[in-house]
């Protein structure tokens, strides 16, 4: 993917300040970032670097105090919680370190969940969810509950859930953090496969080895973003 | 979305059956209290009211309390009977006396009256005949017994032609009334016998008419007003000289009492429903806290405030309505059992009380679900995701 492709994420001078115990913490201090369609980008930084804040803002779970953030051509600024939820639903596919599946529901039902919030009808929803599960190779585990699945399988279900809505970006936060190295590699291989299929992937990690798997690495340190390599 | 919310609520409720059931218990008991109490009162009222109507006939009774020096005689009743709104008029003198036959004896209420009494009171003969005009004119010592009186004294009902003594005097039994199986009779109890007015008044040493009953010639209200003006004219416009009563005023008074009673019982039941609602709120609050992570996940993947709100609200509503349904089922069972036990009264749930229970439960579910649901909907997604329960 070259620089000609359309930018999915454009951040300009993003600042986010938290007040912790009466003291101001500048979690993001004028961060600038561009991620284009079809890219596989890793964001790496130690804990306390502002990594989580950046992820929350990219994922529209939080809004910046100042600066401009354009996601898929849409400026994310003064939106209500309800509208942010809709944007997350349509444009973001979250993949979490601890999978975050709903334990009461089957794998298929978990994958269906974001589609429910899109008000897609039952038949279509089932089909889309089943397709997403097929893409991560778990068709035969559709009716298993998360507790009946291995960690790797659970993460695959989570990836299928993220894929189900065809989001603008897949946003993965330490997706291999809770997995053994062999399973972690499998998951990373799946990311590569999804990348080849044209998905835009943002992978957030503290592990340089995992970060290096991405096409492009972005460093974050003390709330500032710097590019590493190309 | 609503269908989905219902499904989600169902999953949440069934995933912790014991807790859900215990939460419902408050509503179950509340609904049961409401429906059973109100239905019992309504059933009893209905039964008594229909008894009064049946008994009832719609006669008007008059008790003379103060004769003002011009007491009523038997002949005066003829003047009353010619009024156009009056059907028949009969005196009813009464006294207690001991009736004896052989070795058995029983205390009876002996009513002294005339043949008109039969129609006014709506009596029915089982054996023999009722009193005749000749019996009154001749002051014959003949008597008509109530069915239970005959059985008590003679050990059988068909006793026409037998002799017995009442108040030490010998009477010939000329008739036996049909058995009175009404609730009213079993409530009041006692044994009765009827004799000519002329005989009873002599025995009671009360030659004048102190009580009488009148059957209406048409409209009961009209009868009442005509009888009243007749009596007023008779007693110099003194309202305190007599008391006038009819069965409809008794049943009116009764329905007022039972209406108040069912309101009171319903109120108590409503309080227990309220307590049930607080139970729901309590558990929903626990549930919202326990499921903080779930709320975070749902929000991250795109559930808005409204969706979360709806999910928890429907869950509270569903717990409440399921409790209501179970409560109604149990109430039905209890009322069926009560009907079997009570024998004479058929208790049933009225549509009104069922709707009241469902309506009240829904409102309770919504009101007490609102706060927890709002709390769930307002959780911040990032903090909710971070929550480790």
B160 and B198 in a common domain: yes
Question: At residue B186, does pLDDT exceed 70?
Answer: no
Local confidence band at B75 (pLDDT 50, 70, 90 cut-offs):
confident
Q: Using DSSP, state whether B87 is helix, strand or coil.
A: strand
Chain A hits for B382, CB-CB cut-off 8 Å, are 56, 61-62
Q: Using DSSP, state whether B382 is helix, strand or coil.
A: helix
B133 and B230 in a common domain: yes
| B382–A88 CB contact, under 8 Å | no
Q: Is residue B247 part of a domain?
A: no
Q: Which two tokens stand for residue B276?
A: 């049930």
The distance of B298 to chain A (nearest Cα, Å) reads 8
> What's the number of domains chain B is made of?
2
Closest CA relative to residue B76, chosen from B91, B61, B94: B91
- Non-local (6+) Cβ contacts of A228 within 8 A are A44, A217, A218, A219
Local confidence band at A230 (pLDDT 50, 70, 90 cut-offs):
very low
| B307–A117 CB contact, under 8 Å | yes
| A89–B382 CB contact, under 8 Å | no
Answer positive or negative: Cα dihedral of A155, A161, A166, A172.
negative
Taking the Cβ of residue B383 and every Cβ of chain A, the question of whether any pair is shorter than 8 Å is answered with: no
**CB-based burial label for B156 (10 Å; 0-12, 13-18, 19+):** exposed
B211 and B257 in a common domain: no
B329 and B184 in a common domain: no
The distance of B16 to chain A (nearest Cα, Å) reads 11
B125 and B15 in a common domain: no
B351 and B217 in a common domain: no
Chain A residue with the nearest C-alpha to that of B380: A61
The pLDDT value recorded for residue A1 is 46
Sequence ranges of the domains in chain A: 7-227
The distance of A87 to chain B (nearest Cα, Å) reads 7
Chain B hits for A86, CB-CB cut-off 8 Å, are 302, 304
| B11–A104 CB contact, under 8 Å | yes
Q: Is residue B184 part of a domain?
A: yes
Q: Is the ipTM of this complex over 0.90?
A: yes
B376 and B258 in a common domain: yes
Mean pLDDT of A98-113: 93
CB atoms within 10 A of CB B72: 22
Taking the Cβ of residue A154 and every Cβ of chain B, the question of whether any pair is shorter than 8 Å is answered with: no
Q: What does the pLDDT look like over A22-31, one tens digit per residue? A: 888 889 998 9
**What's the gap between Cα A208 and its chain centre?**
18
**Strands, E assignment, chain B:** 60-64, 86-91, 93-101, 104-113, 125-128, 142-145, 163-166, 169-177, 192-196, 211-216, 242-246
Q: For all residues of chain B together, what is the average pLDDT?
A: 88
Chain A hits for B307, CB-CB cut-off 8 Å, are 85, 117
Mean pLDDT of A211-225: 91
Closest CA relative to residue B388, chosen from B288, B284, B297, B290: B290
The pLDDT value recorded for residue B238 is 84
User: What count of CB pairs under 8 Å joins A to B?
Assistant: 60
B214 and B169 in a common domain: yes
Q: What does the pLDDT look like over B103-145, one tens digit per residue? A: 999 999 999 999 999 988 888 899 999 999 999 999 999 999 9
Q: Is residue B97 part of a domain?
A: yes
Q: What is the CATH number of domain A7-227?
A: 3.40.50.300
B172 and B270 in a common domain: no
Could you list the residue range(s) of the whole structural domain that residue B74 is in?
67-237
Which whole-number Å values give the CA distances from A172 to A86, A211, B81, B207, B371, in the listed order? 19, 12, 102, 109, 34
| B302–A81 CB contact, under 8 Å | no
B298 and B377 in a common domain: yes
| % of chain B surpassing 90 pLDDT | 51
């Amino acid at each position: 993917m070259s620089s000609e492709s359309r930018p999915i994420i454009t951040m300009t001078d993003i600042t986010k300040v938290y007040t912790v115990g009466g003291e101001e913490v500048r979690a993001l201090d004028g961060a600038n970032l561009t991620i284009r369609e079809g890219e596989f980008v890793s964001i790496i930084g130690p804990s306390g670097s502002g990594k989580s804040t950046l992820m929350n803002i990219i994922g529209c779970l939080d809004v910046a105090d100042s600066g401009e953030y354009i996601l898929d051509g849409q400026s994310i600024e003064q939106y209500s919680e309800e509208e942010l939820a809709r944007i997350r639903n349509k444009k973001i596919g979250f993949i979490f370190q601890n999978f975050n599946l709903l334990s009461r529901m089957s794998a298929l039902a978990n994958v269906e969940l974001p589609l429910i919030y899109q008000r897609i009808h039952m038949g279509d929803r089932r089909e889309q969810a089943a397709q997403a599960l097929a893409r991560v190779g778990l068709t035969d585990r559709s009716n298993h509950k998360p507790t009946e699945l291995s960690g790797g399988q659970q993460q695959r279900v989570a990836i299928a859930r993220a894929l189900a809505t065809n989001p603008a970006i897949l946003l993965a936060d330490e997706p291999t953090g809770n997995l053994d190295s062999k399973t972690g590699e499998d998951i990373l291989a799946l990311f590569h496969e999804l990348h080849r299929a044209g998905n835009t992937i943002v992978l957030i990690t503290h592990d340089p080895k995992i970060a290096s798997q991405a096409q492009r690495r972005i460093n974050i340190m003390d709330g500032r973003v710097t590019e590493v390599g190309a | 979305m609503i269908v989905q919310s219902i499904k989600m609520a169902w999953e949440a409720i069934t995933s912790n059956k014991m807790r859900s059931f215990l939460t419902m218990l408050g509503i179950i008991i509340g609904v049961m209290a409401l429906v059973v109490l109100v239905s019992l009162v309504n059933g009893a009222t209905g039964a008594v009211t229909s008894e009064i109507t049946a008994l009832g006939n719609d006669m008007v009774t008059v008790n003379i309390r103060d004769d003002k020096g011009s007491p009523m005689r038997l002949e005066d009743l003829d003047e009353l009977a010619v009024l156009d709104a009056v059907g028949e008029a009969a005196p009813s003198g009464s006294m207690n006396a001991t009736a004896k036959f052989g070795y058995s004896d029983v205390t009876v209420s002996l009513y002294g009256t005339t043949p008109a009494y039969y129609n006014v009171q709506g009596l029915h003969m089982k054996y023999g005949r009722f009193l005749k005009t000749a019996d009154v004119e001749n002051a014959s010592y003949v008597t008509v017994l109530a069915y239970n009186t005959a059985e008590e004294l003679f050990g059988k009902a068909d006793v026409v032609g037998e002799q017995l003594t009442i108040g030490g005097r010998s009477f010939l039994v000329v008739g036996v009334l049909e058995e009175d199986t009404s609730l009213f009779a079993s409530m009041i109890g006692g044994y009765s016998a009827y004799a000519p007015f002329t005989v009873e008044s002599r025995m009671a040493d009360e030659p004048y008419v102190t009580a009488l009953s009148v059957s209406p010639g048409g409209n009961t209200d009209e009868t009442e007003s005509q009888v009243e003006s007749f009596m007023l004219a008779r007693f110099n416009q003194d309202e305190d000289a007599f008391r006038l009563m009819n069965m409809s005023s008794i049943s009116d008074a009764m329905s007022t009492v039972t209406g108040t009673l069912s309101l009171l019982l319903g109120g108590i039941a409503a309080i227990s429903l309220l307590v049930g609602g607080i139970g729901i709120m309590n558990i929903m609050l626990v549930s919202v806290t326990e499921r903080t992570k779930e709320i975070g996940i749902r929000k991250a993947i795109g559930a808005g405030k409204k969706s979360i709100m709806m999910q928890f609200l429907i869950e509270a509503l569903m717990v409440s309505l399921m409790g209501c349904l179970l409560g109604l089922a149990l109430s039905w069972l209890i009322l069926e059992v009560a009907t079997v036990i009570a024998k004479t009264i058929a208790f049933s749930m009225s549509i009104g009380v069922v709707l009241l229970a469902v309506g009240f439960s829904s409102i309770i579910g919504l009101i007490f679900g609102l706060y927890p649901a709002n709390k769930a909907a307002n959780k911040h997604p990032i903090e909710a995701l971070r929550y480790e329960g």
